[in-house]
Amino acid sequence: MRERLTLWGKWLAGPVTVALVLGLIGPFGTYALLPLGPRLGYWLAVVALNWVLCDIAVRAVERAMPDGVALRRMAVPLAGAFAASVPATGVVALANGLSGIGWPDAVLTLYGQVLLLLAAITLPVYTLVDLQETLRNAAPSEPEAMPRNGLALFQARLPRPLDGQLLCLEMQDHYLKVHTSAGSEMILCRMEDAARELGPLGQRVHRSWWVADAARDRVERAGQRLTIRLCNGAQVPVGRTYRPALKAAGWI
């Protein structure tokens, strides 16, 4: 429970902070149209819903966009903001109508304002998270006393014993999807913690993926895009940030 609250607290810190700032300054005329209490409620609702939309869109773009794209750190969040802009405009229009601000007359103007705000928030947030991830991977890891059986340590997180061969881990929001030869299981766990516990049993190959050494079949290349094909035929993307470590380990 404590781990769940910590993860949700970290995720909520961003949208709540942004909503409070916007609620206090009241952009786009909301300062004059709404008193403080309703204005804070308006921005909390708008930011929370659109934050979820942007998060989904950015993750989808990140998975689909090849690593070799120029200025990828800018392209991913901006493309995600653009993808989320239409439903986000609908959220704002609904919030305006329900809050008493009024239903929009100039939808294109509202769309432009929403797109600008999404881009202005998504770009720095994504850049900060990406930089933190890069620094965390580049920093030398401190030696830790690892248990002999890292798999046993990781299995303690599972609701029941692991069935089949461990293939890979896939990060989905605040959860990990544990893929085995017998199926998949969702658990509440950070990727960093799982990778540390499993230790030499595999490698992290992408921000959202960890692969077991015994599950590798071959590396496949398509232009700048690298994937690892597993023994069950599944393909796992290889992130640019993780390639130096994977080369040093002889994986690619």
Q: How far is 181 from 12, CA to CA, in rounded Å?
A: 35
Q: Which amino acid is at 128?
A: L
* pLDDT(5) > 90: no
Contacts of 5 (CB under 8 A, 6+ apart): none
Burial string for 111-138 (b: 16+ CB within 10 Å, else e) reads bebbbebbbebbbebbeeebeeeeeeee
Are residue 125 and residue 205 in the same domain, yes or no?
A: no
β-partners of residue 210 are: 169, 204
Are residue 111 and residue 218 in the same domain, yes or no?
A: no
Is the pTM value of this prediction over 0.85?
no
Are residue 35 and residue 159 in the same domain, yes or no?
A: no
pLDDT value, residue 136: 64
CA 190-63-213 angle, to 5 degrees, is: 55
Per the structure, the count of domains in the chain is 2
- CATH number assigned to the domain comprising residue 161: 2.40.50.1020
For the ranges 80-84, 159-163, 241-245, the lowest mean pLDDT is seen at 159-163
Segment 113-156, tens digit of pLDDT:
999 999 999 999 888 887 777 676 555 544 444 444 567 778 77
Q: Which domain holds residue 123?
A: 2-138
Does residue 143 belong to any structural domain of this protein?
no
Return phi, psi of residue 102, to 5°. Answer: 115, 150
Coil vs helix vs strand at 251: coil
> What is the average pLDDT across 164-187?
88
User: Percentage of the chain with pLDDT > 70?
Assistant: 87
Segment 31-61, tens digit of pLDDT:
999 999 999 999 999 999 999 999 999 988 8
Cβ atoms of residues 76 and 65 within 8 Å: yes
pLDDT value, residue 93: 95
Segment 198-219, tens digit of pLDDT:
888 999 999 899 999 999 999 9
pLDDT value, residue 192: 87
Are residue 31 and residue 95 in the same domain, yes or no?
A: yes
Are residue 84 and residue 180 in the same domain, yes or no?
A: no
Long-range contacts of 31-39 (CB under 8 A, 24+ apart): 33/100, 33/101, 34/99, 34/100, 34/101, 38/99, 38/100
pLDDT value, residue 142: 47
Does residue 145 belong to any structural domain of this protein?
no
